[in-house]
Amino acid sequence: MSRNNGGAVGGVPPEVVSFLSGKGGRSLIVKGGAGTGKTTFGLELLERIGEPERSFYLSTRVGDEALYRQFPWLKTSEMRSRILDAAKLFLDTIQAGAKGQPAEVPETEQKKIRAGREVLGSFGQEHGPPNRVDRTHLSSLLKRSPMPEVENLYNRIEHALPAKSLLVIDSLEGVTHKYGLEMEEFVMALQKDLVEGSSADVVMILEKPEAGGIEYLVDGLISIQREELDERRVRHLRLEKLRATNIGRPRYAVTLNDGRFEALGIANGAAARASGPSSWTPFPDPERFYSTGIPDFDRLLGGGLRRGSFNAFEVDVNVGIDDYYMLFTPTFLNFLAQGRGMIGVLAAGESPEKLRESLIRYVQPNHFDTRVRIPDYTIAETEDPYILPMARYGRDEALRAMVTAEKAAAGPDRKPFIEYMAFDTFESLMGDQVAIRMYFSGVSRTKHVGNLGIGLLKPGLLVSSEILNMMDTYFRIVNIDNAPCIYGIRPRTTIYAISPDPEKGAPHAVLTPVV
């Protein structure tokens, strides 16, 4: 993929793309502890941002064959040409003359060239990108120790001029330890020679979580940390410094799924705006299950949500309605598109009108109006056939109204329907003791008649423990660095990021393992 001016590229944060796509060279240090994904991030930058023939990855920690075993996607001929194993580059450099690589310019000639450039520059006669790589600081280091792999990289970057190159060095410690250099002087050489003098982008991977005082030498600093959430692994990418670049989001949750680095939550807007289907084609229900309308979720559940089950989704306080509806909407649509119905007691902030508007884009409005019923306990009058104005009814009338609503949702063919229940609504209206009796009765009925129960729990409910004891499954929906995620408590699962399907567009959704 070619360079992109400011947009998201694959799983790379847009701020990083913008930073490395600016005019002139940029230097970037990526730091983090062992196992945080620094190598995977460097390789992802190489493929997603670098151009073939002028992007290079110098590995000092493992050989290229070990990289190919760990990251099979690197085996393409294009990516293989960018992987430079330091152990092999010594021989490459010795044979450089036979292979036609650019010859090293003697120091005496370099001084003449630099002096000439300074004179021309003073008269304003030198413009445009460089056509030779500056070797001033490298030459000083070479007087103490030969560094064939570094000289080879300088030659390759010079060969690509005047086009801009991308160099990833993994790791800084590997090079400096091998040649007995101070890290500061090596970083300074790369900054002055390649970044400032030759307009190259240089990404340096640090094997430890602290930069040790060298961060002031470079233009950008990124850290990657690994933490635990409910005994599940989560990685965070933090944008600590990106010179001359607006940082819209300072943190991203990331995954290393299938050996690829992906920052989560960056494609949601684009996928949500994608041209989705004009109608919903239902996913078939496996025996004993109801499909969730999300193939990834069905596979996670072993086929879908079990018939006659009630399933709890506990939503964290920083998760928005649109976020958790990415998970629920496909299930609602999959039921309605098969001629089934739904009864929904909505949570505070959820709108019956908005729910109808979002669903009738993909199913017939008449079907929604006749087979969906939404009890609203705050209103006494309505002209909408799908809304039950429960505030107008006494206890007996309310019970009769709910029986009528259930018949409408089941239809003349008495099909199973969804019972969507926001538990906080009943607790706030009726108190915890009355609410828990209603929950018990409703859950029992759902299981007896074979409907699909979906229960929404929000923070602070007094009856959460009693409710969870009734549930067949129990999931938590959380926000991790602005990415909505779900994980199972019962059954136990890893964490998955929820996002619109990048190919089909919303309302289709996908789940990406956060590993």
Give a yes or no: residue 2 inside a domain.
Answer: no
Q: Which two tokens stand for residue 465?
A: 């423990």
The predicted pLDDT at position 50 comes to: 82
Give a yes or no: residue 259 inside a domain.
Answer: no
DSSP string, 142-202: HTT---HHHHHHHHHHHHHTTS--EEEEE-HHHHHHHHT--HHHHHHHIIIIIIIHH--EE
Q: Which residue has the tokens 């001016």?
A: 5
Q: How many CB atoms lie within 10 A of CB 10?
A: 18
Lowest mean pLDDT among 1-5, 281-285, 316-320, 378-382: 1-5
The predicted pLDDT at position 378 comes to: 87
| Residues 387, 314 share a domain | yes
| Residues 113, 47 share a domain | yes
Give a yes or no: residue 227 inside a domain.
Answer: yes
Instruction: Indicate the average pLDDT of the chain.
Output: 84
The predicted pLDDT at position 128 comes to: 65
The predicted pLDDT at position 213 comes to: 84
Answer left, alpha or beta for residue 115, where phi above 0 means left and psi between -120 and 50 means alpha: alpha
| pLDDT classification of 275: cutoffs 50, 70, 90 | low
Specify the number of domains making up the chain. 3
Contact yes or no for 50/166 (Cβ under 8 A): yes
The pLDDT of residue 351 is above 60: yes
| Residues 280, 250 share a domain | no
Q: Please tell me which residue, 300 or 88, carries the higher pLDDT value.
A: 300
Mean local confidence (pLDDT), 430-454:
76
What pTM does this model have? 0.83
Beginning with the edge strand found earlier in the chain, give each strand of the sheet holding 492-500 in spatial order. 387-389, 372-376, 341-345, 417-422, 452-457, 310-315, 473-480, 483-490, 492-500, 509-513
CA atoms within 13 A on the CB side of 240: 19
Question: Which residue type occupies 419?
Answer: E
The predicted pLDDT at position 142 comes to: 94
| Residues 364, 227 share a domain | no
Q: Which residue has the tokens 């307009």?
A: 199
The pLDDT of residue 483 is above 80: yes
Q: Which two tokens stand for residue 205?
A: 């991977």
| Residues 279, 160 share a domain | no
DSSP string, 334-353: HHHTTT-EEEEEPPTT--HH
Is 417 strand, coil or helix? strand
Is 484 strand, coil or helix? strand
| Residues 232, 194 share a domain | no
Give a yes or no: residue 43 inside a domain.
Answer: yes
Contact yes or no for 190/56 (Cβ under 8 A): no
| Residues 246, 393 share a domain | no
Answer left, alpha or beta for residue 498, where phi above 0 means left and psi between -120 and 50 means alpha: beta
CA dihedral 412, 415, 416, 417 (to 10 degrees): -60
Length of the chain: 515
Q: Please tell me which residue, 135 or 128, carries the higher pLDDT value.
A: 135
Mean local confidence (pLDDT), 415-431:
80
Q: Which residue has the tokens 């060095």?
A: 169
Mean local confidence (pLDDT), 53-64:
76
Q: Encode 423-447: b = buried (16+ Cβ within 10 Å), e = exposed.
A: bbbbbeeeeeeebbeebeebbeebb
Give a yes or no: residue 5 inside a domain.
Answer: no
The predicted pLDDT at position 425 comes to: 74
| Residues 447, 420 share a domain | yes
| pLDDT classification of 126: cutoffs 50, 70, 90 | very low
Q: Which two tokens stand for residue 512?
A: 């990406």
| Residues 239, 344 share a domain | no
Q: What is the pLDDT of residues 210-249, one digit of tens each?
A: 877 898 999 999 999 999 999 999 999 999 999 999 999 9
The pLDDT of residue 4 is above 50: no
Give a yes or no: residue 212 inside a domain.
Answer: no
| Residues 247, 188 share a domain | no
Lowest mean pLDDT among 109-123, 149-163, 191-205, 313-327: 109-123
| Residues 238, 147 share a domain | no
Give a yes or no: residue 27 inside a domain.
Answer: no
Give the residue numbers spanning the domain of 63.
Answer: 35-165+172-200
The three-point CA angle 494-498-500 to 5° equals 150
| Residues 248, 395 share a domain | no
Q: Find the CATH number of the domain harbouring 360.
A: 3.40.50.300
Burial class (CB in 10 A: 0-12, 13-18, 19+), 348: exposed
Q: What is the pLDDT of residues 81-99, one digit of tens each?
A: 555 555 444 444 434 443 4
The three-point CA angle 368-372-378 to 5° equals 120
Give a yes or no: residue 264 inside a domain.
Answer: no
Q: Please tell me which residue, 78 or 446, carries the higher pLDDT value.
A: 446
